[in-house]
Amino acid sequence: MLALGSDDPPMACHDEPMEPVTDVEMEVEPPDVRQVLLDAFGLPKAGLDICLCVIGEGPLSASEVADALGYDRSTVTRYLNKLVDLGLLRRSELNREDGGIVKAYHSVDLERMRRDTLIGFYLWAGEAASLIEEANVTKQDYLEENPDRELPDVFWESFPED
Amino acid sequence: MTVRRRQVLERLAAMSDADAECTTTVGELAASLEAEEDRVAKHVERLAACDLALHRPTGVRVTVTGEELLALDTDGTVVVDPSAVDAGP
């Protein structure tokens, strides 16, 4: 228990005086990135390896990633696109001098990702609250507002307060 | 001194120009970065494999692709897939 304030009278528990705790060590182990990616995104090992490789030094070619990890280049490309779908990477198209396009896969801005997720959550929560508010109409309210309509089968009931 | 590939690309972009076909040399790049020339040369080779740098008879220069990649303003971790070429109609 964490208590703030004066110690007069001294705090007690089961009639026993409580000792102040001053030497508190709260160590929180940082999550293992591999485990987070495996658990949160269900990445297979190949996807995980590629994801962690992209987090490292760059720019790299897809062939270089494939050579470094021992996968086929097609596997690397497939998982790069999968990581884009999961929102762990971003894909941009760059112009080539001789025409055509080269695809570049880059790590997301983690701060932006956090901000976007938070905004998405707030939007969702706002919509959910609006829906709940809309549904939270009593039978009586409904009948008053819609005197000539039938009452739906499922409806919120109002209960008189005791 | 250890030099990162991203640093080499950034310095190459500063010392050369894709549109003007202005080149520099690996030696000049290495001197500018105060890095070993062999190390810089390897990075340049890898950048060329990604279509981000281009060897010319007068030296080496950044490509349009390299300039566009730097303009993405990512935090420096990129995989480029030159195989995914869409040559268009």
Chain B residues lying within 8 Å of A109, measured CB to CB: 74-75
Q: Residue A70 and residue A43: Cα distance in Å, rounded?
A: 17
- The answer to whether residues A101 and A121 belong to one domain is no
User: Across the interface, do A107 and B63 touch by the CB < 8 Å criterion?
Assistant: no
Count interface pairs A-B at CB distance under 8 A: 116
pLDDT digits (tens, 9 = 90+) for B4-47: 898 999 999 999 999 998 999 999 999 999 999 999 999 999 99
Chain A residues lying within 8 Å of B51, measured CB to CB: 96-97, 102
- The answer to whether residues A81 and A138 belong to one domain is no
- The answer to whether residues A58 and A116 belong to one domain is no
Residue B24, domain CATH: 1.10.10.10
Domain assignment of residue A161, yes or no: yes
CB B53 within 8 A of CB A81: no
At B85 the pLDDT is 45
Token pair in block for residue B44: 């340049």
Domain assignment of residue B26, yes or no: yes
- Please state the domain count of chain A: 2
Angle at A45 between CA A41 and CA A51, to 5 degrees: 65
Domain assignment of residue B63, yes or no: yes
Q: Is the pLDDT of residue B63 over 70?
A: yes
At B43 the pLDDT is 93
- The answer to whether residues A100 and A116 belong to one domain is no
B1 min Cα distance to partner chain A (Å) = 16
- The answer to whether residues A116 and A157 belong to one domain is yes
User: Across the interface, do B9 and A59 touch by the CB < 8 Å criterion?
Assistant: yes
From the number of C-beta atoms within 10 Å of its C-beta (0-12, 13-18, 19+), residue A15 rates as exposed
- Please state the domain count of chain B: 1
Low-confidence ranges of chain A (pLDDT < 70): 1-7, 22-43, 47-48, 51-57, 109-114, 117, 135-139, 151-162
Complex confidence, ipTM = 0.81
At A5 the pLDDT is 56
Domain hosting residue A117, numbered range:
109-162
User: Across the interface, do B49 and A104 touch by the CB < 8 Å criterion?
Assistant: no
| Interface list for B 28-67 with A (CB within 8 A) | 46-47, 49-52, 54, 63-65
- The answer to whether residues A94 and A118 belong to one domain is no
Domain assignment of residue B67, yes or no: yes
pLDDT digits (tens, 9 = 90+) for A71-100: 888 888 888 888 888 877 888 999 998 888
Q: Residue A89 and residue A79: Cα distance in Å, rounded?
A: 10
Domain assignment of residue A89, yes or no: yes
Domain assignment of residue A64, yes or no: yes
